[in-house]
A and B are shown apart, each in its own frame.
Chain A
Amino acid sequence: MKPPPFDYVAPATLEAALETLAQYGDDAQPLAGGQSLAAMLALRVARPSVLVDLNRIPELTGIDDAADGLRVGAMTRQVAVLNSEKVRARLPSLAAATSLVGHFQTRNRGTIGGSVSLADPAAENPAFALAMNAEMELRNAKGSRKVAAVNFFDGPYTTARQGDELLTSITYRPSPGARIGVDEIARRPGDFAMTGFVARLNVKDGKIDEAGFAWFGMASQPLRAPSAEASLKGVALKDIDIRAVAHAAVDDTDPNDDHHASAEYRKKAGRVLAERVLTKLLMSEAA
């Protein structure tokens, strides 16, 4: 057997899962869809004492289109997000981002919360949450807290989630009429992005009220592009210099060399990608 030995529990309720985490702390590893974790176990880069399987906890699953936002339960599978009428109606760009995650077979198991909690620097859903200013709900046995996405991602594969906590839901609050787009450049469909870009443009009276940009694959964590965002504040849609904004957005990044692509390539491809995403957004009515 390839994975290291571990104990396994499959609690039926969130309370029971949180009790288990309180008991084991950092020695416990929550198991969501397992599409990364099971591979990390096979490669023995993860060696938890106990796996806490969240797949039998119904309350962690589901999409709630509430007045104050679109709340997605952490254990909602990627395929469920893709097939959700609520997502399609309220935040179709979330489905667009999720369609870029892995393959058909892995999206059948993989979850939104699992991907966000893993915080792979090249993953789509963490960057999407970051661009959206999404709100993460974390719970432990004692209570819950809400963390803004900007405070959630701390570094490569590192988040604000403590060992006794679970990410229970992600709430997205798109402004009415916001234009949101996402795309990536990868060698093959389903591969991790060499560069990926999420752009959100909140528009008021034909001008940019607020821009939210997030990169993936362009640093050791999902990354906002604050100077590019600030440069758009108050600018009329028709006056936006897409090329300049794309360059500014890349200047906010610090990509790494790795075996997928060099930092230099990532910056060049990133400029092209950001131009592509922004052009599409400015040509569209609303996303």
Chain B
Amino acid sequence: MSDHDISVTVNGARLKKRVPARKTLLDFIRQDCGLTGAHAGCEHGVCGACTVIVDGVAVRSCLMFAVQTDGAEVRTVEGLSPAAGDLHPVQAAMHEHHGLQCGFCTPGIVMTLTSMTENNATAAEMNAAMSGHICRCTGYQGIQKAISSLAGDVNNG
């Protein structure tokens, strides 16, 4: 049972921490970084609530170990807003189109959509990626509307 020193950038801040090998990235973000936006849902890769962006791609933080992010750049929902009180365009679209109710799954969805809009994904691609997120409140209709508006934004430059 080994402990490891890691150096990882979380939402732009370089952190040096010591972590047990078995600590998931999700537990690291929540417990060691104090960022509780990434949610612990199923904790075995099914629900998508823990989705964060590691080195530019959306991943499930419960299926990675913190030690694996040594040298990596991690982004969580807390790092999206450009300034206090402002919303990231994905957050604004979710707000505008009522893409959430209880909000538990929302940070994961927002991180998936953020990574995809940054890569100019189409609405069809983003809707397909929603299979990786379980939302039990919205029926996905509001989320799909948010996606349509985001895809329109991207296409309109």
Contacts and interface: CB of A to CB of B under 8 A. Distances in A.
Interface of A: 1-8, 10, 34-35, 38-39, 41-43, 51, 53, 55, 79, 102-106, 108-109, 188-190
B64 interface: yes
Contacts of A190: 131-132
B142 interface: no
Contacts, number: 96
The 9 tightest CB contacts between A and B, nearest first, are: A103-B132, A8-B21, A104-B129, A5-B1, A39-B44, A38-B63, A3-B22, A108-B57, A7-B2
Contacts of B65: 8, 34, 38, 51
A105 B112 contact: yes
The main secondary structure of chain B at its interface with chain A is: mixed
Interface in B38-75: 43-46, 48, 51, 57-60, 62-65, 67-68, 70
B21 to A, nearest CB: 4
Nearest to B22: A3
Contact of A2 (B4, B20, B24, B58): B24
Contact of B2 (A4, A8, A35): A8
A51 B21 contact: yes
B23 interface: yes
B128 interface: yes
Given A7-B1, A104-B112, A104-B129, A2 B63 contact: no
B114 to A, nearest CB: 12
B24 A105 contact: no
Chain B contact patch, size range = 20 to 34
A105 B60 contact: yes
Contact of A108 (B2, B21, B45, B59): B59
A194 to B, nearest CB: 16
A27 to B, nearest CB: 13
Nearest to A2: B43
A1 B60 contact: no
Given A103-B129, A109-B59, A109-B63, 10 more contacts: A4-B22, A6-B22, A8-B65, A34-B63, A35-B63, A39-B46, A104-B112, A104-B128, A105-B129, A190-B132
Contact of B131 (A4, A5, A8, A189): A189
Given A34-B63, A34-B64, A43-B44, A106 B132 contact: yes
25 contacts: A1-B20, A3-B22, A7-B2, A8-B21, A38-B45, A38-B62, A38-B63, A38-B64, A39-B45, A39-B46, A41-B22, A42-B24, A42-B43, A42-B44, A51-B65, A104-B128, A104-B129, A104-B131, A105-B48, A105-B59, A108-B58, A109-B59, A109-B60, A109-B63, A190-B131
